Amino acid sequence: MKHDDTTIFSSYERNPSLYDEIFDENGNVQKTYETLFDLYGKHSIEDYVNLNSKAKASFFNQGITFQVYNEKKTQEKIFPFDLFPRIIHPEEWDIIERGAIQRSKALNLFLWDIYHEKKIIRQGIIPMELISSSANYLHQMIDVDPPGGIYNHISGTDIIKHNDGAYYVLEDNIRCPSGVSYVISNRTALKRALFGVFNHYQAYSVTNYAENLLDLLESTKPKGVDIPNCVVITPGMYNSAFFEHSYLAKTMGVELVEGRDLFVEKDFVYMKTIHGPEKVDVIYRRIDDQFLDPLEFRADSTLGVPGLFAAYKKGNVTLANAPGTGVADDKAVYTYMPEIIKYYLDEEPILNNVLTYHCSRPDELNYVLENIDKLVIKPVDEAGGYGISIGNRLTKKEIEVVKIQVKENPRKYVAQPIMSLSVHPTYIEDSESFEQRHVDLRTFTILGKDKEFVLKGGLTRVALQKGNLIVNSSQGGGSKDTWVLKK
Amino acid sequence: MNLEYSIVYKAENKYETWVNGAHWQFLIIPEENKTQEFVGVDFTNSLDAPIEYSINGFGFRTIRIHTKEKFKTVAFEASFKLIKREVNPFDFEITANIEEGYEKTKTIDFRVDFEQFLRSTPLTSIPSTSEGLFQFDLKQSIFENLQGLNLWIFEQIHFKVGTTDISTPLIKIITHKEGVCQDFTHLFCALARQNGIPCRYVSGYLHQGNGFFGDSQMHAWAEAYIPMVGWVGFDPTNGILANSNHIKVAHGNDYNDCSPLKGVLHTTGENKTIHSIQVSSQQ
């Protein structure tokens, strides 16, 4: 089908150097999108503007908001949602799903190893410094056996489609990855606004995430517990992901608690209720390691529970994800993922890794310093898109500043070639038209002793500013509903 | 010969304003090991709050107290009894296999096994540009070098209470040449680790019958791992090897892993803690 001039896409401009997921190089609509394109084409831009404002109001009324840090005034924002969905073909999804499971399993085995025998280091496959210089390596976890041998129960894998049409992993998030609640509420919003459209495709449901998460949490119950009492612990309503914490607790049918709602007695954890203390067996924690227990980690933490870590170490309560997983989502560990997958699973990586330079290696550091304009510089231990510099967007002055930062603390930085994320037609309010915007995909993987689950869908994140490559919601990104088609 | 020790640990906290509820964790119970046999513990507190025994993240025994009461002052008293066996710090061949010892410390297995105690922490870091520090002489054994380091710190730094606190960086200790046992021990750990020797911070009690330094607080010393020998205790504050006067409680990477009293409570205004420790022995 040819790109028609009378549709809501009539003013859509295609930059031929970008990989557009809908239009091929000749402006023809990809087969998967034909029906969708047809259906949207029947509407005028006014219809769309109208629908869009209704969808926005619905998000706000449901309280689906988040907060952005680092602004002078903290403000609740709606996570901008685009009504034009992204469709993933079953054959492509198959690669993504197998790739995400492979990475989660490999990372889990890696975590077990570096908290036990450390064979991968003894055999010289990864350097000692990767652990010994990581602030997220918790010595308290050495020789601790988490229930079922699982550390990263929940992983969020950030995947992009490069202009070569192949998928690449940008990051593995295995601390407290967030975003899954948006996947589900995006679907609800889209179905509500455009029910007729959704029905033309056979897409997998995304509402089974919570039941799979609960199933996993229950499977990690401590020894001797029959029916486990699971809770979700949140840092509180001022956390940027509070909506998600409350959403997951509600849909799993478990209590949402803050640190002050729990206490530890004789190394068991209890929840305060109006009927008296109730023992807690499994905690889905959305609090970082350093804030879990002020008696063990940061003493100034008011978010955690005094004595929680001792209860965990004695096996009386399970924490998901396990403490100490952060060491493996260090971006320097990321660069060893192909080796890690090969070593533990004896398999070739299914998903590509982006070529990465370690600033801690002198010759790679020199290359990075001389080629900053062609590279993305990332701090190894930050999440949420903070601290990232994209070389070709920097002024000469800014480049010099980045150079100094990198030289002062090379271990803190890695560099990657600037990847060209694929683009997707996205409705832009200011111009009241569809424009190309860069997108990525965060998938959610649940790993248990006898469980491997990837949510068939995921969060397609959109960089709303023209040309911007950083899609994180904390950096002003939006999202799209993501349809994984049935075979 | 065995010594029977009685240790009395007292702490009194005074707060300027009322405190509503608190958690405390004490890391003060002597460790059970091949030279220490634990006989008993008795613990009381002025609030009559229930007492729990637990562990810290590294498996050392702790005493934990939680009160929901309102208070301005609180006093704790613990008394321990234990039997300490005579320690002979020289029960190994000091100069045998000098080269083999250094070779061992360079192997990947050794560096992996002792990663935790080779890593420097903010409290055990010295800028690499610092001058005039103790240098290892590779013609001498690891043990002899560590002994040299122990004496060097003892001679360089003067024991003085009140000029440093736990956050004073080592570079200041070296420049001002003053400090307390924590500072001596951090310096020992830092230099041993810089030379590739695993070293851990030890907190415990010192029996002061012999005029040793260590004031009436908890004492600190270091344990270094010597290949083919094992962990050996060095007390740089007194320029001696750890012996039967040293009663170990816990070890860690630095003071932060071993602080005897941690409290979680919310109060405005000043607060003051007074510790006192008495160690007495019977043969």
> Minimum mean pLDDT among A260-269, A415-424, B226-235: which range?
A415-424
CATH code, B265: 2.60.40.2250
Task: Give yes or no for residue A98 having a pLDDT over 90.
Answer: yes
pLDDT at A159: 96
Domain that holds residue A392: 355-417
Q: Is residue A15 part of a domain?
A: no
Residues A313, B109: C-beta atoms closer than 8 Å? no
Residue of chain A minimizing CA distance to B122: A135
Q: Is residue A368 part of a domain?
A: yes
Task: Give yes or no for residue A113 having a pLDDT over 70.
Answer: yes
B56 chain-A contacts, CB cut-off 8 A: 295-296, 310
Task: Give yes or no for residue A71 having a pLDDT over 60.
Answer: no
Quick one: B67 and B106 in the same domain?
no
Quick one: B31 and B171 in the same domain?
no
- Return the residue matching tokens 């004031």: B215
pLDDT at A347: 98
How does A376-409 read in b/e, with b if 16+ C-beta sit within 10 Å? Answer: bbbbbbebbbeeebbbeebeeeebeebeebbeee
Bridge partners, B246 (sequence order): B206
Q: What is the average pLDDT across A298-312?
A: 93
More confident residue, A467 or A241: A241
Task: Give yes or no for residue A7 having a pLDDT over 70.
Answer: no
Q: Is residue A219 part of a domain?
A: no
C-alpha to C-alpha distance for A257 and A275, rounded to whole angstroms: 16
Quick one: B134 and B37 in the same domain?
no
Task: Give yes or no for residue A294 having a pLDDT over 50.
Answer: yes
More confident residue, A384 or A361: A361
Count of domains forming chain B = 2
Q: Is residue A73 part of a domain?
A: no
Q: Which tokens hold the place of A275?
A: 């009927």
Q: Is residue A438 part of a domain?
A: no
B111 chain-A contacts, CB cut-off 8 A: 128
Q: Name the residue among A121, A306, A310 with its Cβ closest to that of B55.
A: A310
Q: Which tokens hold the place of B179?
A: 């400090």
* Contacts (Cβ under 8 Å, ≥6 apart) of A204: A456, A457, A483, A484, A485, A486
Task: Give yes or no for residue A157 having a pLDDT over 60.
Answer: yes
Quick one: B231 and B148 in the same domain?
yes
Q: Cα–Cα distances in Å, from A158 out to A121, A177, A420, A474?
A: 26, 10, 14, 15
pLDDT at A3: 45
Q: What is the average pLDDT across A343-369?
A: 92
Q: Note the pLDDT tens digit of each residue in A134-144.
A: 889 999 999 99
pLDDT at B212: 59
Tell me which residues of chain B have a pLDDT lower than 70.
Answer: 94-95, 210-216, 283
Q: What is the CB neighbour count within 10 angstroms for residue A237?
A: 11
A313 chain-B contacts, CB cut-off 8 A: 55, 57, 59
Q: Which tokens hold the place of B268?
A: 């405005």
Q: Which tokens hold the place of B53?
A: 């025994």
pLDDT at B156: 93
Quick one: B209 and B127 in the same domain?
yes
Q: Is residue A361 part of a domain?
A: yes
Q: What is the average pLDDT across A40-68?
A: 79
Residues A310, B62: C-beta atoms closer than 8 Å? yes
pLDDT at A69: 60
Confidence of residue A361 (pLDDT cuts 50, 70, 90): confident
Residues B118, A266: C-beta atoms closer than 8 Å? no
Instruction: Kindly state the DSSP code that residue A357 receives in the 8-state scheme.
Output: E
Residues A139, B52: C-beta atoms closer than 8 Å? no
C-alpha to C-alpha distance for A239 and A254, rounded to whole angstroms: 19
Residues A295, B25: C-beta atoms closer than 8 Å? yes
CB A223 within 8 A of CB A315: yes
ipTM tops the 0.90 cut: yes
Quick one: B11 and B74 in the same domain?
yes
Quick one: B75 and B97 in the same domain?
no
pLDDT at A2: 43
3-state DSSP percent of chain B in helix, strand and coil, to 5? 20, 40, 35
CATH code, B161: 3.10.620.30
pLDDT at A44: 82
Q: Is residue A11 part of a domain?
A: no
CATH code, A389: 3.30.1490.270
Of A138, B116, A352, A117, whose CA–CA distance to A109 is shortest?
A117
Confidence of residue A43 (pLDDT cuts 50, 70, 90): confident
Quick one: B56 and B98 in the same domain?
no
B264 chain-A contacts, CB cut-off 8 A: 294-295, 299, 306
Q: What is the DSSP string of B46-65?
A: TT---EEEEE-TTS-EEEEE
Domain that holds residue B123: 91-258
> Minimum mean pLDDT among A60-74, A326-340, A421-435, B205-219: which range?
A60-74
B115 chain-A contacts, CB cut-off 8 A: 118, 128, 131-132
Q: Note the pLDDT tens digit of each residue in A311-340.
A: 999 999 999 999 999 999 887 788 899 999
Quick one: B71 and B118 in the same domain?
no
Residues A307, B109: C-beta atoms closer than 8 Å? no
Quick one: B80 and B99 in the same domain?
no
Smallest CA–CA distance, residue B281 to chain A, in Å, is 32
Quick one: B117 and B79 in the same domain?
no
> Minimum mean pLDDT among A88-92, A207-211, A372-376, B56-60: which range?
A372-376
pLDDT at B187: 96
pLDDT at A70: 57
pLDDT at A254: 98
Residue of chain B minimizing CA distance to A128: B112
pTM: 0.92
- Return the residue matching tokens 């000692």: A128
pLDDT at A302: 86
C-alpha to C-alpha distance for A154 and A175, rounded to whole angstroms: 8
| Average pLDDT over chain A, rounded to an integer | 90
Quick one: B101 and B240 in the same domain?
yes
Task: Determine phi and psi for A180, rounding to 5 degrees.
Answer: -65, -30
Work out the percent of chain A whose per-residue pLDDT is above 70.
94
C-alpha to C-alpha distance for A332 and A354, rounded to whole angstroms: 12
> Minimum mean pLDDT among A203-212, A355-364, B55-64: which range?
A355-364
Residues B57, A122: C-beta atoms closer than 8 Å? no
Q: What is the CB neighbour count within 10 angstroms for residue A212?
A: 17
Task: Give yes or no for residue A1 having a pLDDT over 50.
Answer: no
Residues A306, B264: C-beta atoms closer than 8 Å? yes
Q: Note the pLDDT tens digit of each residue in B127-177.
A: 877 888 999 999 999 999 999 999 999 999 999 888 888 888 898 888 899
C-alpha to C-alpha distance for B278 and B11, rounded to whole angstroms: 12
Q: Is residue A396 part of a domain?
A: yes
Count of domains forming chain A = 1
